[in-house]
Structure 1
Amino acid sequence: MSTNFELRPDFPPQLGLIFICFYFLTSFGFSQSNIKQGDSTYLVPYLDKIIVKANLETQTDEYQYRNQDDGTRIHLIPNNVYRLFLSLDYEFLGVSVGIVPRFLGANSDEDLKGESSFTDYRFRFFLGQWVQSLEYSKVSGYYVKNTGDFVPDWTEGVDPYLQFSNLTSSKYGMSTSYVFNPNFSYRNIVYQNEWQKKSSGSFVGTLFYDYNTFTFNELDIDSKERFFNIRLAPSYYYTYVMRENWFASGNLSPSLGIRFSKSTSFDGTTTEVETKSYLTRSVSTGLNLGYSSKKVIFGANLTFNASWYNEGQNSRTENDRFYGVLYVGYRFEPPNVVKKLFKPFTGN
């Protein structure tokens, strides 16, 4: 089951919302000099340096739906092997763009798995012990990883997978984090725009809130699900500085939240609308090994994340992911024109 994929390269108009948020945030003119800083013997901030970085990760947007009565499940996954994020950070602002690089195996085996597209834009604001992030992402084109459970005599690597090229998911998300220990650098292990010089740990409270759409238009069925998630994650992070430049860190992050869902489907004659709310649960843990100096940063981390919620007495949605990230970056002095542009907001 496969249809032709239609490439849509248009710039998403929803990014206007992000730019509006950026305008109002920067218009308040937060000054880094008025924000409490940690002990300089524990961490060194590099907000006054431009940091360019590349992240290569194996994370994908996977969905698993399980029928608890008979144990059957369907596993949907896009045809993306790797994702590349290019980012730039300076002072209180960070920006990154995510793409799927074809030269690294993106959309491999298109004749068997179909074609997928991926778009991701992220903005982040650093305000002392607070971190605010904004995100827009979109994925189109999925295939059924467990096709053999539905097609008799199906042979992996020979027969095409079941494909849903018109299945699209999009996300407009934000998160607000607070680091309780000012001597612990959350930014060192997540964004790499600080340098943790002494071992330290901290609780990090994060509130996630996002709006998502899941659309399907195929086989004479036109359906759309909209859902809003809000969840709180009380996490704990610890960084062990092995040597002056080398560090290892770990974290554990359970979370509990609520999902409000509205689904609409049209089969050519009848429109059905359904609204529901769910209690969501998730737990995430990760390990990070990295190197940080005045100019060069690089490292790798592994993350496992499990999330689930019950859609009813007989069905459950699960999403278990294990993925890795490689990153490398470089810090350098900003040009004078950039310093002048940010001076009204930083006071530097």
Structure 2
Amino acid sequence: MGLRNPRWNLNSPKILFYVLGLYCLCPISLQAQLIPKKDSTAIVSFADKFVFKLNIDTQTDTYLFQDRLGGPDFRLAPNNNYSLFLSLDYQFIGMSLGFSPTFFSGNKDDDLKGESSFTDFRFRAAIGQWVQGFQYAKIKGYYVENTGDYLPDWVEGQDPYIQLNNLSNTKFGMSTSYVFNPNFSFRNVLYQTEWQKKSAGSFIPTLFYSYDIFDVALENFESDERSVPIRLSLGYYYTLVINENWFIAPHIAPSLGVRFSWDTTILEGNTVKENNTYFTRNLEGGLQLGYASRRVIFGAGFVFDVNWYDENTTETIENNKIYALVYVGYRIKAPKFLTKAYRKIEEKLGLQEIIDNN
């Protein structure tokens, strides 16, 4: 990655990862049988309504570098303890905008941790049992969480952390998912554009692919890494419906992939270029508790997303996203002129049967 290359003892995560991988692979052949039509009593669609949602979470994009030979850890994190997402969904498309507002007290430690910026824009389309996602995300400004390992006289809460204000991470990402069980509502769990009224689960394989830019500029050092990570996630989601309105939704999704990297490093005027290919592993999962009705939706959850790869025989890089979230949303009827315009476009393009046949 151009900054520093470390190593983490991955024995426990690896064991968990491979066990879960085998767990997901075995039943897929059963799900691949002829799938019945969706039960209209199991899922209620609100595609014809505007769905507004507000989401607050504690998501941070942290990196862990560790050397197997015994060197100190190198832990990077942005100064964004809270993020706010606003989303709008209508029919089969939706979008959301995420940012890190300064009115949250946890985002105001600029004197100690430096200034960070966060932008996350997502667009999605759900057609039949397919869900396609697009994402643009950028984080700029990181600090070294374990500054005390590098500055012996450093005092936590009093002295500033080592700051990398010009370090930025940009992602242009896409994902393609397929829901095997038509009686399971993926949209209820992720976007709340449907209402799951009967308990159900489904295997949902997802292909993630993106173009990432990771760069930093210091006084005598510059690094610019461009990479294309591709991975296949074999996820299983389940929604347990309680008294029709309340639900509990756990999920687990191990994945494997490759990461193609092109890195340019400039140190004191000397330029070094490297091209590498890495084998990546990822484990993502979580638990959500939610309430759904015809108009009001709200809930809370916990999510973990751990991605790691070996940069060489002695060094490993790990990217962690472990966070809690709360959300609240409201469904309102779309204006008649918009509904009519949408129906005309839908008829001309012949999308009606494809979109509704979930």
**SS of match in other structure, 1:102:** coil
Deviation at 1:173, TM superposition (A): 0.1
2:201 aligned residue: 201
Tell me, yes or no, if structure 1 residue 41 matches structure 2 residue 24: no
1:86 to 2:54 alignment: no
| SS of equivalent residue, structure 2 residue 302 | strand
Match of 2:113 in 1: 113
- Are residue 242 (structure 1) and residue 229 (structure 2) matched? no
In 1, distance between residues paired with 2:170 and 2:341?
33
Q: State the match for 1:66 in structure 2.
A: 66
- Find the counterpart in structure 2 of residue 216 from structure 1: 216
**Partner deviation per Cα, 1:46-89 (whole Å, 9 max, x = no partner):** 11111010110111111111111114221100000100010000
Provide closer, same or farther for how the CA distance between residues 309 and 216 of structure 1 changes in structure 2, counting only shifts above 3 A.
same
Alignment of 1:187 with 2:192, yes or no, is: no
| Residue equivalent to 2:308 | 308
Note if 1:323 corresponds to 2:323.
Answer: yes
- Under a length normalisation based on structure 2, what TM-score does the superposition of the two structures give? 0.85
Q: Is the 8 A contact 2:61 2:320 kept in 1?
A: no
Relative to structure 1, the CA distance from residue 128 to residue 345 in structure 2 (aligned partners, 3 Å threshold; closer, same or farther) is farther
Note the C-alpha offset of 1:221. 1.3
Q: What's the counterpart of residue 131 of structure 1?
A: 131
Question: 1:281 corresponds to which residue?
Answer: 281
Q: CA RMSD in A?
A: 1.3
Aligned length: 313
Secondary structure at 1:201's aligned position in 2? strand
Question: Aligned partners of 1:53, 1:37: CA distance in 2, in Å?
Answer: 29
Q: What are the Cα deviations for residues 19-43 of structure 1, in whole angstroms up to 9, with x where unaligned?
A: xxxxxxxxxxxxxxxxx96211111
Gaps of 5+ in 1: 1-35
Q: Which amino acid aligns with 1:80?
A: N
Whole-angstrom CA distance in 2 between matches of 1:65 and 1:204: 31
Q: Deviations over 1:210-252 (max 9, x none)?
A: 1100110112212100110100001101110011100001011
CA contact (8 A) 1:91 1:346 kept: no
Counterparts of 2:335 and 2:273 in 1: how far apart (Å)?
55
CA contact (8 A) 1:237 1:249 kept: yes
Does the CA-based 8 Å contact 1:166-1:218 persist in structure 2?
Answer: yes
Q: Which amino acid aligns with 1:82?
A: Y
1:107 and 1:114 in contact (8 A); partners too: no
Helix, strand or coil for the counterpart of 2:160?
coil
- Paired residue type of 1:252: I
- Using the TM superposition, give the Cα deviation of residue 284 of structure 1 relative to its aligned residue in structure 2, in angstroms: 1.3
Structure 2 counterpart of 1:100, one-letter code:
S
Letter in 1 for 2:108: S
Query: What is the match of residue 254 of structure 2?
Result: 254
Question: Residues 11-22 of structure 1: matches in 2 within 5 Å?
Answer: none
Distance in 1 between residues matched to 2:56 and 2:293, nearest whole Å:
21
Partner in structure 2 of residue 9 of structure 1: none
CA distance in 1, matches of 2:240, 2:291: 12
**Residue 268 of structure 1, CA deviation:** 4.2
Local SS of the residue matching 1:324 = strand
Equivalent position amino acid for 1:182 in 2:
P
Q: Distance in 2 between matches of 1:97 and 1:280?
A: 28
Deviations 1:68-122 (A, max 9, x none): 1114221100000100010000001101111111112253211100100011111
Aligned residue for 2:325, secondary structure, equals strand
Name 2:264's counterpart in structure 1. 264
For residues 270-304 of structure 1, what are the alpha-carbon distances to aligned partners after superposition, in whole Å with 9 as ceiling and x for unaligned? 21100100000011121000000000100011012
Which runs of no fewer than 5 residues in structure 2 stay unpaired? Answer: 1-35, 353-358
Q: Residue in 2 aligned with 1:227?
A: 227
Shift of 1:345: 3.7
Helix, strand or coil at the partner of 1:207: strand
CA contact (8 A) 1:224 1:263 kept: yes
1:119, 1:322 → 2: CA distance? 18
Percent identity over the alignment is 51
Q: Structure 2: which amino acid aligns with 1:291? A: Y
User: Any idea what the Cα deviations from partners look like across 1:288-328, whole Å, max 9, x if unmatched?
Assistant: 00000000100011012222110001110112332011111
After TM superposition, list the pairs within 5 Å mapping 1:101-180 onto structure 2.
101-105=101-105, 107-180=107-180
CA distance 1:66–1:319, change in 2 (3 Å): same
